[in-house]
Structure 1
Amino acid sequence: MAVIDDFFGKNAVKNNKAKRKNPSSAGTDPGPPAVKKPKAESKEMKKEVKKEGVDTQVSAEDVLKTIPDADPSLLDLSPDAEKMNFFQLKAKQNANGSEAGEQLDIDSIPRGRENCLNGLTIVFTGVLPSLDREQCEQLSARYGAKITKSISGKTSLVVIGSDAGPSKVKKIKSLGTKCIDQEGFIQLISQMPADGGSGENAVKEMAKKKELEKKVEQDIEEEIKKEQEQEQEQEQEQERTKAKPQKSTGGSTFRAEKKVVDKDTQLWTVRYAPTDMKHICGNKGNVEMLHSWLSTWFDKKHDLNGSTIDHYKAVLISGPPGIGKTTAATLISKKLGYDVIEKNASDFRSKKVLNEHLKVCLDNTSVSGYFQHDGESKNAANGKRFVLLMDEVDGMSSGDNGGVAQLAQFCKTTKTPMILICNDKSLPKMRTLDKYCFDLGWRRPTSREMKSRLMSIAHREGLKLDPNLIDKLVAITHNDIRQIINIMSTVARTQKSLNFDNLNQMQDSWEKEVSLKPFDVIARLLSPNKLSINDRIGLYFNDMDLVPLMVHENYRSTRPACVNASNKLDHLRQLAKASDLISQSDLVNQRIRSGEQQWSLLPFHAILSTVYPAAEIQGQITGRINFTSWLGQNSKKMKFDRMVQNLQYHTCTRTRTNNVDLRLHYVPFLRDRLLAPLAKHGADGVSDVLETMDEYYLTKENFDNVLELAVHGSMKFDDVYKKLPTAVKSGFTRKYNSYVHPTIIYKTGDSVGSSVRRTQDESIEDEERRKNGADDPDADNDNDQDDAADDSGSGDILKDNLIKEIKPKAKPKPRAKSAKQAKPAAKTGRRL
């Protein structure tokens, strides 16, 4: 697992704090002028602002008119910049960002008024002199601005720096959007009135926030009312149980008492787990569709012929972890009165285990439903039915021994609803379920969808949560609402508010560690970065098998930042260093993967294969990041090795050579002997080709392998064989299949276990004796006796297709003999 990049410039903050403690440690470069950290606004300052009418009369448009536009040179595009792709532009920005001066601390920027950027839509592009883009986005979010990545007619202003994106620059010129630089952005924060002023957009945004507050209050009231009703029902149930006579068993009384759990001791994720469909954040359309499908499952005909969800007996819910897939499926099933049988599919990987444990559930009813009275269940019709919930279905994709295929058959024949849940639907073995399951793709809930639920939880727990902070919490946790709730519970133990002031103090423990994709890992390693060696090793361990191969594939397409672009010799030297390190890492990998199993060398392998080569070559990525081609080439090599080995099995008595010599010398010769007659004489050359194949004991599969192995130059398979007339190829196939060909050797498993029995008219020994003119019946008898003795201990000898069982002939029935026939026999004394 790798740690996510620093969203808010933690390293810069730490460096600035260290420099302030020890000014002598700073370099000779004075950097930008220091900005004094102002104190928080006092009550007197707020009164002065109100007297001046700044917070009620001034609008955002009026303030923007007073801020000067950015330098027009930032909007000039060079011809080279227009030709750059995304990766090249990103690498150039990272290189320029690393060369920038000292970074400003967010705390050193003058503090603005509360929600002063409310109603503004801001886009950041380019590299700012002393502020990271993440820092700017944090400042904008703190004061209520909306941050977008693309420029449109709704964009209020653009904060631009050097090396801005060419497409964004063209959009700015075409729309005439207001552009300011870093100094203008800081000036905007200090001059904007509270709540965004009196502008139209600010008023609309404040109205939305008030509506959200009202909705939160309504949700809290409804939850409290439901809790009170549940408590009353529990009290009434307890009174009824006390009034009922107690059951006695052998003189002893027994009373079933429900355990009451103290809510104060529960985790917040358990206490505020969804109990109603309104509590589910995001994916509202999918939730409603699943509810409708499950409520009418027994009323619809599931014929698998349509494209709607009602035509399927099973549903496959796919999406990243932590977004509420299992919670939504369980909640909907229980709300409809179903009894839920939840199984983890990763525990039922094989076909045999599925048949033993789950097949009985496909046509059955719930036992607990029979013991419920009609008044006790709101859905009495479904009380005796249940839903089969299979979680982590993608866990069956490794060594399942037919488990996914059997699960697909269950989805086809089941008589009860099935809900399958997986994280990654793109796995190859998951395609088997596409035909029998309706796909419901779950996406991550957005901050807007989670804001109401999080605000209601914070309000009930007495935690003051800044609404502007929710967007950053969602970004840090990768839209994981459970982790956000855990963060809130942690802060609530020591503090009464959660805002941007205590964000930088605790964000290290808030960051969610996720597994990055190999493409993201390579982009970070090969681009200029300030990651520590431990962080780079952590990127390697995201996928220690694939990341080194990705580095090997893409390091040549990177232009090192430490080398002048015109100096190709230095560039070649850096490539040589990287390639030498990658070669040395193969030696370490052999120690790890071989019989020595020295897994303690993995960090050293990470340095040699990934960290060190990427550090030598990091710079500007000149092309797109490609997936490793080694996997495909290695698979092709193994395929060709199998072909050559198969040819060597069949031709060993004729060629008497190894695999290497067979591939280098015999394969080109055999190809000419097999294709030349067909190319020159057409159908008349079929006999010559078959004679050559029988001479070397080649099969039709070997014929195709010889043509596929000869791929160099004019010997390419497509150049000759595909140009032959179809009649010639069809005639060759028909004549090959018209008689049985001699076979010299069979690999292990070729002759055993096949349903088709192949017979041979003559074995290789018979053919050799026929050619040499020797036929010794005594030797044959000895060989037969030896073979019989060797095969006497084999229990599966009758399964071998090369051995034909000779069944004994049925004895003729004895006939009734006449007296004339019996007399001579009696005289001679012989038995009839």
Structure 2
Amino acid sequence: MAGTCHTAFRPTHETLTRHDRRVTLQPSSKTNYVVLGDNAGPSKLAAIKKHGIKTLSEDEFLALIGTRVGPGGPGGLPLDDKTRKKMENETKSIKAAAKALEAREKEEARDAKGKVGGGGTKPDLASQLWTTRYAPQTIKEVCGNKGQVDKLQQWLHDWPSSLKSGFKKPGKSSMNIFRAVLISGPPGIGKTTSAHLCAKLEGFTPIELNASDARSKKLVERSMNINNTSLDGWMAGEEATNALGVTITDKTCLIMDEVDGMSAGDRGGVGALNALIKKTKIPIICIANDAGAQKLKPIKNNTFNLPFRRPDASAIRSRILSIVFKEKMKIPANVVDQLITGSQSDIRQVLNMLSTWRLSSNTMTFDEGKDLAKMNEKNTILTPFDVTNKLFGPYMFSHTARETLGDKMEMYFHDHSFVPLFVQENYLKTEPAKLRNLNGPPKTLKHLALMDKAASSISDADLVDALIHGPEQHWTLMPLHAVCSTVRPASFLFGGGMSWGGANAMAFPQWLGQNSKQGKLGRQLGEVQIHMRLKVSADKTEMRQSYLPALFPHIVKPLVENGSSAVHEVIERMDEYYLSREDWDTIVELGVDQNKDELVLKKISAATKTSFTKKYNASEHPIPFYKAMDLGKAPKKLAGGPAPDLEEAFDVDDEIPDASDDETKKGDEDEIRGDKLISSSKPRPKKAVKTTTVMMTSSKQPRGKVKPKR
């Protein structure tokens, strides 16, 4: 196509888009001009030489724009006969589609007029939303995902035979063994419209339940009623219709929209829907935006997954332009492309923007379209897998990249907790683009240098993270952390090479599991240290480094070498240090090198483990300390007398009431009893209470008598 250009300059790209010219990132036989920047890749230079494409510098390109006049006005690029003929054919097809829309509206108006005479109501097309007014009514009018729509229609077409065979024949697409289909994909790309359209074309009556409805267990179970007739349809007499205006037939199709949005208001709805799918005798179409939602896990096992993708701008452009032409609006194709790109191919959002713009103006310039797309720009949340794939891909940091530093930092803020972990886990698995022109030892040295820079940047990010999540919480350092942990490491090692399987597959961060394991082992080590404190005076670090390796040959190694015969010896040594059976497992799990738990447990036979456990559980063992709950009664407070020498006799924090306070309290009670206006019931006689005196023996005798509190 004339005017097509491979460019490395952002102003060049915008200039070509403004004049309705296509820009590609890879030169091909259809490319007419190539604008060469600095450090062009050898593969692209080879493609330019192979196809004999004319190259331009940036100054030559600007001179070409300034001296040519094309369909975009001054500054346009020339068109050859082939391109001009292609554009004329596209214009004719757009006009034909616009006439088809007009004919469809006239036919709907005639049908509505006939129903008005019979008691119906005439719809006001001017007040209808464009998304309803121009909704597809045939398969040809659906934009994108043609293959998926055909599969859905074929599944509905084969439903009667599948039900008759008991869903045992998979069919061409292996869908006929499922009683339900799960359609997933981003919003606004035609999932619900396709479901309704396919159901109507195959003679089914669609009954839709979406997020605005209460989808509880009872409602889901009752939604199978095929006689869900509206009052208007019942009064019409001849043709009964449901609440959606669809003629009631003997075939019903349930459409569950936004099943991933079920919340507490739809209590029991997901479980009821899953149970219904297993035994349903009518087709069920579930629609979700996020197929990976945790709540959809049971449903996914019983449905055929039918993912819908965002359609390309070329697949939507002709449909939007036909609507624009029918509404007598003058909007160039490049402006429509901007709106489609800004909305992430959301057809519904593009129609809403155009219908709103139509209220004030019939035309839209390139700059106005750019501002409107920026104002209504649709930001999608990417998963950490998508962010990592984009960051280390070949385009984010290439010379032809259009993303600014702010755009690259924005990738970090999609999930600032997980994205740095994904970068740290996968930054060594790429094939850096900066090594493509090198071979042999220079390539290896350069690769090591790039990895060193990336690792240093990640280390700096850890220091910044300590300031952010530390006591002072410097959250203003988040942009710096984004650069150090994500943007800078990716700028050194970008280039792709990671796959979804194999040795270079993108991996989930192992730090999360290791951190959880470290916390668990730290708690278990603390219990071992508490149990051994009557014999050993050491903190957790010294216990881990010195005492546990010294204990290993005495409580673990004998079981490896001598088997069941060493069980008694091991239990005696464990009792000497107040170690429990769980402590033995902790010591084995904390082993390293040749004492690693995987290696040690393999050397101990199953019979030895069973004998060790049985003998330990059958015998009594000393306990280093008791809690109050272990004794069955709360400790009694001791009052009066001087404090004994032993601190274990009672808690030092126990409060001992003063005699003066008792006397004061007694005096107050006497004054109250003497008041004539206050009457009190006679106290009941108290029963005698037995008290138990606990005697504690020690080498030292207490200096005073200790009276138990009654």
Q: TM-score, normalised by structure 1?
A: 0.57
| Change over 3 Å in CA distance of 1:428–1:397 after alignment to 2 | farther
Determine the C-alpha separation between the residues in 1 that align with 2:81 and 2:331. Answer: 22
Q: Which residue of 2 aligns with 1:367?
A: 228
CA displacement at 1:312 relative to structure 2: 0.6
Determine the C-alpha separation between the residues in 1 that align with 2:529 and 2:227. Answer: 62
1:311 is paired with a residue whose SS is coil
User: Is 1:149 aligned to residue 25 of structure 2?
Assistant: yes
Determine the C-alpha separation between the residues in 2 that align with 1:143 and 1:532. Answer: 24
| Alpha-carbon displacement from aligned partner over 1:338-363 (angstroms, at most 9, x marks no partner) | 44443347998xxxx854442444x6
Q: Which residue of 2 aligns with 1:160?
A: 36
| Change over 3 Å in CA distance of 1:634–1:502 after alignment to 2 | same
How do 1:162-311 residues align onto structure 2 when only pairs under 5 Å count?
162-173=38-49, 175-190=51-66, 194=70, 202-241=80-119, 258=121, 260=122, 262-301=124-163, 303=167, 306=170, 308-311=174-177
CA displacement at 1:189 relative to structure 2: 3.5
How do 1:147-546 residues align onto structure 2 when only pairs under 5 Å count?
147-173=23-49, 175-190=51-66, 194=70, 202-241=80-119, 258=121, 260=122, 262-301=124-163, 303=167, 306=170, 308-344=174-210, 355-361=217-223, 364-368=225-229, 383-395=249-261, 407-427=273-293, 430-500=296-366, 502-504=368-370, 506-516=372-382, 519=387, 542-546=414-418
| Alpha-carbon displacement from aligned partner over 1:760-784 (angstroms, at most 9, x marks no partner) | x78x5xx779xxxxxxxxxxxxx99
Q: Which amino acid aligns with 1:486?
A: N
CA displacement at 1:327 relative to structure 2: 2.4
- Conservation of the 8 A alpha-carbon contact between 1:337 and 1:380: no
Determine the C-alpha separation between the residues in 2 that align with 1:193 and 1:449. Answer: 29
| Alpha-carbon displacement from aligned partner over 1:246-278 (angstroms, at most 9, x marks no partner) | xxxxxxxxxxx64x5533334433432334433
| Change over 3 Å in CA distance of 1:543–1:786 after alignment to 2 | closer
Determine the C-alpha separation between the residues in 2 that align with 1:467 and 1:442. Answer: 25
1:293 is paired with a residue whose SS is helix
CA displacement at 1:506 relative to structure 2: 4.5
Q: Which residue of 2 aligns with 1:717?
A: 597
- Conservation of the 8 A alpha-carbon contact between 1:268 and 1:486: yes
CA displacement at 1:162 relative to structure 2: 0.5
Determine the C-alpha separation between the residues in 2 that align with 1:679 and 1:497. Answer: 86
Determine the C-alpha separation between the residues in 1 that align with 2:240 and 2:350. Answer: 37
- Conservation of the 8 A alpha-carbon contact between 1:340 and 1:386: yes
Q: Which moved more, 1:448-457 or 1:478-487?
A: 478-487
Determine the C-alpha separation between the residues in 2 that align with 1:321 and 1:637. Answer: 42
| Change over 3 Å in CA distance of 1:729–1:305 after alignment to 2 | farther
Q: Which amino acid aligns with 1:151?
A: P
- Conservation of the 8 A alpha-carbon contact between 1:397 and 1:404: no
1:308 is paired with a residue whose SS is coil
User: Is 1:614 aligned to residue 479 of structure 2?
Assistant: no
| Change over 3 Å in CA distance of 1:655–1:431 after alignment to 2 | farther
CA displacement at 1:400 relative to structure 2: 10
Determine the C-alpha separation between the residues in 1 that align with 2:452 and 2:416. Answer: 32
| Change over 3 Å in CA distance of 1:322–1:688 after alignment to 2 | farther
Determine the C-alpha separation between the residues in 1 that align with 2:208 and 2:126. Answer: 28
CA displacement at 1:619 relative to structure 2: 5.7
User: Is 1:623 aligned to residue 493 of structure 2?
Assistant: yes
- Return 5+ residue gaps in structure 2 as ranges: 430-447, 497-505, 624-629, 635-710
- Conservation of the 8 A alpha-carbon contact between 1:119 and 1:146: no
Q: Which amino acid aligns with 2:112?
A: Q
Q: Which amino acid aligns with 1:418?
A: I
| Change over 3 Å in CA distance of 1:398–1:168 after alignment to 2 | farther
| Change over 3 Å in CA distance of 1:496–1:533 after alignment to 2 | same
User: Is 1:582 aligned to residue 465 of structure 2?
Assistant: yes
CA displacement at 1:677 relative to structure 2: 2.3
| Change over 3 Å in CA distance of 1:617–1:208 after alignment to 2 | closer
| Change over 3 Å in CA distance of 1:587–1:733 after alignment to 2 | closer
Q: Which residue of 2 aligns with 1:123?
A: 6
How do 1:72-83 residues align onto structure 2 when only pairs under 5 Å count?
none
CA displacement at 1:438 relative to structure 2: 0.7
2:323 is paired with a residue whose SS is helix
User: Is 1:681 aligned to residue 566 of structure 2?
Assistant: no
Q: How many residues align?
A: 579
Q: Which amino acid aligns with 1:164?
A: A
- Does 1 or 2 have the higher relative contact order (CA < 8 Å, sep 6+)? 1
1:389 is paired with a residue whose SS is strand
CA displacement at 1:382 relative to structure 2: 6.6
Determine the C-alpha separation between the residues in 1 that align with 2:522 and 2:213. Answer: 37
| Change over 3 Å in CA distance of 1:583–1:280 after alignment to 2 | same
How do 1:15-34 residues align onto structure 2 when only pairs under 5 Å count?
none
CA displacement at 1:499 relative to structure 2: 3.9
- Return 5+ residue gaps in structure 1 as ranges: 1-117, 242-256, 558-564, 591-603, 743-760, 770-782, 788-832
Between the two proteins, what is the percent identity of the paired residues?
A: 30
Determine the C-alpha separation between the residues in 2 that align with 1:574 and 1:381. Answer: 65
Q: TM-score, normalised by structure 2?
A: 0.66
How do 1:724-743 residues align onto structure 2 when only pairs under 5 Å count?
724=603, 729-733=605-609, 735=611, 739=614, 742=617
| Change over 3 Å in CA distance of 1:702–1:156 after alignment to 2 | farther
Q: Which residue of 2 aligns with 1:103?
A: none
Q: Which amino acid aligns with 2:284?
A: M
- Conservation of the 8 A alpha-carbon contact between 2:412 and 2:482: no
CA RMSD of the aligned region, Å?
Answer: 5.3
| Change over 3 Å in CA distance of 1:432–1:576 after alignment to 2 | closer
User: Is 1:640 aligned to residue 521 of structure 2?
Assistant: yes
Q: Which amino acid aligns with 1:367?
A: N
